[in-house]
Amino acid sequence: MSCDLVSIEPRGAVTVIRLNRPPANTIDLELTGEFEIAFDAAMAGQPEALVLAGTGPFFSGGLNLKSVPSYSAGQQNDLLRAINRLTGKLYACPVPLVGSVNGHAVAGGFIVALNTDYRVGPIGDFQFGLTEARVGIPFPAATMIVLKAELAPQHVRFIALQARRFGSEEALARGVLDELQPPDAVIERAVEVARDMASIPADAYRRIKHQVRGDAIARIEQLNAADADPMLEDWVSAEARDASATILRS
């Protein structure tokens, strides 16, 4: 299967889901819609494991700052709900989900990577980080649940409040990545890891993953069921539109 922005690539028992919106695989209503369709289609094929990858020098650069800050209130809320819903599906994925973090992973792209069970990143001059504060856009509630569940509190505080970018080695040291590979080896190593994780008895993996992540998964499920994200009241402000425009000009 292939959509315009997301592709599904079967590799035997492992299926690769690839974000394919060059140059930065940015996130908006169109991409999240295709991403959710692709994930559901991949799972319908009953893979033993999934790999989530980007295209080109980016895994994902986060929100599309050219379009999202100018969304209407209704479009903002639709995107917020879609992000929370997709986050819930990725974080609770019942089969191994390995991140082929092939390049820059910033803002929303950083959070997408954190949803995976194991993260292979690139050696070299690549950037990681949560820059939301610098563009004036608070986090969707589900993404903050994942951030707090995946990283140690001191790293959450530093990464979210400093809102700066850092390199691959620091991403490894802070637990964002699990290992580094040369850029052209990242995808094959991720597939290799996925195949190894797929060799774990499937029911045991699913149940133990839920033991590890169950509290966070339950909170995301409750959030989505109640449509209770506080950001639905006021997510992308005029301040964010101005900050985004400044970032794009820089």
Does residue 175 sit within a domain? yes
Write down the residue that tokens 């080109």 correspond to.
Answer: 56
pLDDT at 248 > cutoff 50: no
pLDDT at 233: 87
Does residue 120 sit within a domain? yes
Does residue 56 sit within a domain? yes
Three-state secondary structure call for residue 107: coil
Please say whether the beta carbons of 80 and 235 come within 8 A. yes
pLDDT at 239: 66
Name the nearest CA neighbour of 53 among 108, 150, 144, 121: 121
Does residue 225 sit within a domain? no
Please say whether the beta carbons of 135 and 244 come within 8 A. yes
> Model confidence at 250, in pLDDT bands (50, 70, 90)?
low
Question: ω into residue 140 within 30 of 0, thus cis?
Answer: no
Distance CA 142, CA 83 (A): 8
Structural domain boundaries enclosing 163: 6-198
Q: How many domains in the chain?
A: 1
Query: What helix, strand, coil percent values describe the chain, rounded to 5?
Result: 50, 15, 30
- Quick one: average pLDDT of 180-191? 98
pLDDT at 241: 61
> Model confidence at 246, in pLDDT bands (50, 70, 90)?
low
If residue 17 lies in a helix (H) or strand (E), which one and from where to where? strand 14-19
Report, in angstroms and rounded to the nearest whole number, the Rg of the chain calculated over CA atoms.
17
pTM of model > 0.75: yes
CATH number at residue 42: 3.90.226.10
Does residue 47 sit within a domain? yes
Looking from the CA of 73 toward its CB, the CA atoms found within 13 Å total: 4
Does residue 1 sit within a domain? no
Please say whether the beta carbons of 114 and 148 come within 8 A. no
Does residue 232 sit within a domain? no
pLDDT at 3: 66
- Quick one: average pLDDT of 17-25? 96
Quick: pLDDT tens for 37-93: 999 999 999 999 999 999 999 999 999 998 998 899 999 999 999 999 999 999 999
Does residue 244 sit within a domain? no
